[in-house]
Structure 1
Amino acid sequence: MESILQQTIEYITSMDPYEATGLIFGLLAVIFLIKENILTWPSGIIYVLVSLVVFWREKLYADFALHIFFLVLNIYGWWYWVRGKKSPDRESPLDAAPDQSQAKEVPVTHASSGVLTALILISAMGIFLMGFLLESFTDASLPYWDSATTMLSLAGMWLTARKKIENWHFWFVVDVLATGVYYYKGIHFYSILYLVYIGLAVSGYLAWRKTMRVQTSL
C-alpha cells in the first residue's frame, strides 16, 4: 500500500502539465454536466484542446480526430443550451416533453428507440471501418479499441448536446473502455480520470432521471 501511495505521489509531482490540465477540466466538465450547468461547455472546450496534444503525442489518432469533433460538439452544445427551449411551433417529436412550452431551459428528455438504434448501428460500422483504416494505413496504437471509444463517444456527445438522458449509457461504456486503453498506454492520469468518470456516469444518470421526474410533475 505504501509503495502504491509513493508511486502515486511521485507520478503527481512529475506529471505532464497537459495531462494535469486535462484531468482538472475533464472532471469539471462532467461535474457541471451532472448539475446541468452551462459551464460544462467551456470546461469541455479547454479539456479538448489540451487532449489534442496528449493524443497526438501518444499516436492515438482516432482519439485525436474524436476530440476535433468534440470541439465542434462542445460549441454546438453550448449554443443549444444557451438558446434554451425552442418555441412550440418549432418543437420536434424527439424533444417534446409535457408542459414544457414555457420552459426557459432545454429539458432532459428521452431519445427515441429509432434514434438509439441508428446511433448503435452507425457506431458499430464506424468502429470496424475506422479500425481497419487505422490498422492498414497508420502506425496507430490499438486501432479498434481506439475506434470504439471514438465512435461511441461521438454518439454520447451528440446525445449530451441534445440533453437526452441516454447519453449516460454511452458514456458508461466509453469510460470502461477508455480506462483500460489509457492504462495500457501509460497515460495513467487519464486512466484515473475515466475510472472516476464511470462513477460520475452513474451519478449523472440518476441526477438527470430525478430532473425528468420533476419536469413531468410540473
Structure 2
Amino acid sequence: MDWKLILQIAGVALGLLYLWLEYRADIRLWIVGLVMPLIHGALYYKSGLYADCSMQVYYVLAGLYGWLVWRRNNTRTDVGQTGAKDTKGASGAKSSAAALHIAHTPLRMIPVLTAVYAAAHAALYLLLTHFTDSTVPFWDAGTTALSVVAMWMLSRKLVEQWLVWLAVDLVTVGLYLYKDLPYTAGLYALYSALAVAGYLRWRRQARA
C-alpha cells in the first residue's frame, strides 16, 4: 500500500474543502484546518520536509485561535443585529456577520509582520541546516515562515493574507515537484489561482 499516495489524495481533498470555506469566509474552515495538519504532517515527515512538518503543530494551534476569534466576533455581530434578523431573515444576518470583519492590513502592521517573517525564516533555516538532513532548508524555512504570518492574518480576516498565501503557494509548487509530490504540487497550483480569486472577493467585501 502506497501511504505516500494515500496521504496526498486525502490532503488534496481536505485542502480543496478548506480553500472553498476560506473563500466563503466560512467559520467551518477552522474545523477542517484542525484535521488537515495531521494528514500533511505525516506526508511531509515521510518526504523530508521537516519545517513543513513541524508547521502543522502551529496550524492546529492557530486553527483553535482563529476559530475562537471568528466565533466571538460573529456572536457579537449576531447580538448586535437582532433587530435586523426580524426584517431581513436569519440568512441575511449571517451573511453580514461573515463579511463584517474583513478589512485591509493596517500600514503600521506591515513592518512588524515583515520582521516576524524574517526572524522566523532565519531561525528555521539555522535549525534545518544544523539539526536535520533537509535538502531544501532555505525554501522549506521560507514557506513555513510566510505561512506563520499568513495564518495569523487569516485569523484577523485581513485581505492581504491571500497575497502572502499566493507567494507561499507559488514557491511550494516547485518545492513539492522537486520532492516528488505531484498531487500535492497540483493542489498548491490550484491554491495559487484561487488565492487571486479569494483576494479579489475579500477586497470587494472589505469595501462593502
Establish whether TM, by shorter chain, passes 0.5.
yes
Change (3 A) 1:107 1:65: same
TM-score (norm 1): 0.80
Counterpart secondary structure, 1:16: helix
Q: How does 1:6-45 map to 2 (within 5 A)?
A: 16-45=5-34
The RMSD of aligned alpha carbons is 2.0
Q: 1:171 aligns with which of 155, 165, 187?
A: 165
Q: 1:159 aligns with which of 153, 167, 192?
A: 153
Task: Give the aligned length.
Answer: 188
Unaligned residue ranges in structure 1 (runs of 5+) = 1-12, 89-102
Unaligned residue ranges in structure 2 (runs of 5+) = 78-95
Question: 2: CA distance between counterparts of 1:54 and 1:43?
Answer: 17
Q: 1:206 aligns with which of 193, 196, 200?
A: 200
- Give the conservation status (yes or no) of the 8 Å contact 1:52–1:64: yes
Instruction: State the partner residue of 2:133.
Output: 139
The offset of 1:15, in angstroms, is: 6.9
Question: 1: CA distance between counterparts of 2:28 and 2:75?
Answer: 21
Change (3 A) 1:123 1:15: closer
Question: 2: CA distance between counterparts of 1:147 and 1:141?
Answer: 11
Change (3 A) 1:159 1:20: same
Instruction: State the partner residue of 1:192.
Output: 186
Larger helix proportion of the pair: 2
Q: 1:81 aligns with which of 48, 55, 70?
A: 70
The offset of 1:188, in angstroms, is: 0.9
Structure 1 runs of 4+ with >2 Å offset: 85-88, 103-106
Q: 1:69 aligns with which of 58, 63, 78?
A: 58
Opposite residue 133 of structure 1, the aligned amino acid is L
Question: 2: CA distance between counterparts of 1:200 and 1:75?
Answer: 24
The offset of 1:133, in angstroms, is: 2.1
Question: 2: CA distance between counterparts of 1:59 and 1:14?
Answer: 15
Q: Cα deviation per residue 1:148-188 (whole Å; 9 max; x = unaligned)?
A: 00000010000001101110110010001111100100011
Identity among equivalent positions (%) equals 30
The offset of 1:81, in angstroms, is: 1.2
